[in-house]
Structure 1
Amino acid sequence: MTKDLTSSTISRQNILNNNYALEQLESNLSLGGIYWHDQAVFTKAHIAELLQIDIRTVERYLENHNDELINNGYKVLKGTEFKNFKEYVSDIDVGDISKTPSLGVFTFRAVLNIAMLVTESEKAKTIRSKILDIVIDVMAQKSGGHTKYINQRDEAYLPSAYKEYSYRKEFTDALDYYLNADKWKYGKYTNKIYEVVFLENAAEYKKILALKEKDQIRETMYSEVLNAIASFEHGLAVEMQQESLKLNRKLTTKELDELIVKASQNPYLVPHINDARAKMASRDLCFREALHQKLENYIQSVPQSDFDKFLGETSKSLEERLSDPETLAVLKRLKDR
């Protein structure tokens, strides 16, 4: 999937929230700037020179994308802060600012931001291309080259997967005990739960993530998605039992369908379902370059905490998790509950 950084706020923010990529970008792009308070800062004049555009073009982008640029590090120095800055730099660095009441400066992050916005500059286009190349390299390196299972690098994945496995057994037992239906009921009602939680059936999900026929799709799901599925399976199993005992017979498929519709509107479950949709859609677009079209309205930029979760020091492969005594102790407690 080609990312047009000039038109996609989410794609830009996903890069700017990735501190691991920013670190590599700063050392590889060598954009210069003035080091002040232990970070590079750039004036509007610096940006105009760097991107080979008129300073009025810089000001126009500042006006049109003010909130975004401020969020990513642009600020106006005033008062004591500006006085300290003037004392730190020379006129050679930033021009004559002796009579200027304030000065706008960009951090390195904000420079990348405006370079991803400017369409009039060939230099900005070149920087965008380098940004994408470096981000791809960082993602591959940090994830071990296996973004298909990047979900498993989250320390919450294994406990969530284990709990979901337990609740799925509870749900499939309920289908056996309380539903009058043929042998296809397991796949049929698994798909119905998927469609409630993330609006796709198993075949659609596999196609979007380009999974192979033998790939187990729950092994690719984020912990929050597994938790939402487990909550739905558990609640549905309990309601099936209660309804069957009340009627003194097994449920029909129509009656179970009605229970599923009712459960999908449960005010206790709706926030968890919406959260699962947002995390699946946003993370898959960012980490796997997979677009869930039915979840497009839920796509958000991925926060810095998610990059730490899947790429940082606390992230580990599944093999590493299974050899960790603390993780095994958690799984044992879940088994014994």
Structure 2
Amino acid sequence: MELDLNERNELILTESKTMRDDLVFKDNVMDKIKLVTVIPETTEVTIEMAANYYEVPHETIKTLIKRNRSEFNDYGEIRILKGTSLSDFKGRVQLEPELKTAPSLTLISRRGLLRIGMLLTESEIAKSVRHYLLNVEEISSKEQIQWAVNREIARQERRQLTDAIRDFYTGSMSTGIAYSVLTDMVYKLLFDINAKGLREIYGIDKNEPLRDYLSTEDLRRVVKVEKTVSALLLLGKGKREIDEELNENKDKF
């Protein structure tokens, strides 16, 4: 994935969760493109209201949310009301007639609505929102965008490595352990320390993404070695052979 930083490229937001997370608090941008209508006495919208805002079919929003459910859930940007909580909500706010008898209700926060705009590719309104975020207000510098691109490339390469382990690794370790062992092999080759040691250096716990703390240059080196490991797995090499191959060519990384 390459990005020409001289062009206005809003699609980086559809590719990089890192960038979306950085910009999702800028939900006031949406009103500058088109006024956001929320449910009275709330700051939330329904799926239908989100579809109306972005001028796309209702099913488009439903499908996008379903495809990215975990991302919305991570930040509490969507909630589903049923039973008593739904009855209480209906008693407190004014709803459209067709929603008054609905057995459940999906509510999206303003930040969730902005996240939809950063993910939605088939909406001119969404394109305008992304354009405004990245170009008009210059919220993201070229360095920030390039940082996000590098992280996205690293994420794709990591997926390539996990896929290679799943499909071609023939040793006795489980897939998860094999990934940890091979990742430590990469870090030791480049930094002479394993993942745990790097986390201690950066002062982060195991739930934080270690790669976000690496410099762009170090991240590129990690990606280069992981691509090599993936290729060696494809050739049927085992852990010992991969370790030997990497160390024999250490000066190339």
TM-score normalised by structure 2 residue count:
0.52
Preserved contact between residue 53 and residue 121 of structure 1 (Cα < 8 Å): yes
SS of residue paired to 2:99 = coil
Q: How much has 1:117 moved relative to structure 2?
A: 0.8
Q: How does 1:271-286 map to 2 (within 5 A)?
A: 271-273=199-201, 278-281=211-214
Q: How does 1:52-201 map to 2 (within 5 A)?
A: 52-72=55-75, 73-91=77-95, 94-133=96-135, 136-137=138-139
Preserved contact between residue 115 and residue 124 of structure 1 (Cα < 8 Å): yes
Structure 1's unaligned 5+ residue stretches are 141-146, 148-259, 285-291, 300-337
Preserved contact between residue 29 and residue 129 of structure 2 (Cα < 8 Å): no
Residue 34 (str. 1) matches residue 34 (str. 2)? no
Match of 1:295 among 195, 219, 244: 219
Cα distance, 1:115–1:265 mapped onto 2, change above 3 Å: closer
Give the partner amino acid of 2:219.
Answer: L
Q: Residue deviations 1:103-155, cap 9 Å, x none?
A: 00100010001111111111111111122346635x78xxxxxx9xxxxxxxx
Give the partner amino acid of 1:271.
Answer: R
Q: How much has 1:9 moved relative to structure 2?
A: 1.6
Q: Which moved more, 1:94-103 or 1:111-120?
A: 94-103
How many residues are paired up? Answer: 162
Which residue of structure 1 aligns with residue 229 of structure 2? none
* 1: CA distance, partners of 2:221 / 2:79: 31
Q: Residue deviations 1:213-240, cap 9 Å, x none?
A: xxxxxxxxxxxxxxxxxxxxxxxxxxxx
Preserved contact between residue 278 and residue 298 of structure 1 (Cα < 8 Å): no
Preserved contact between residue 69 and residue 114 of structure 1 (Cα < 8 Å): no
SS of residue paired to 1:34 = coil
Q: Residue deviations 1:41-61, cap 9 Å, x none?
A: 000110111111110111111
SS of residue paired to 1:75 = strand
Which residue of structure 2 aligns with residue 25 of structure 1? 29
Preserved contact between residue 12 and residue 113 of structure 1 (Cα < 8 Å): yes
TM-align CA RMSD: 3.5
* 2: CA distance, partners of 1:57 / 1:81: 26
SS of residue paired to 2:122 = coil
% identical equivalent positions:
22
Q: How much has 1:266 moved relative to structure 2?
A: 7.6
Q: How much has 1:78 moved relative to structure 2?
A: 1.6
* 2: CA distance, partners of 1:97 / 1:56: 17
Which residue of structure 1 aligns with residue 174 of structure 2? none
Higher gyration radius (CA): 1
Preserved contact between residue 15 and residue 135 of structure 1 (Cα < 8 Å): no
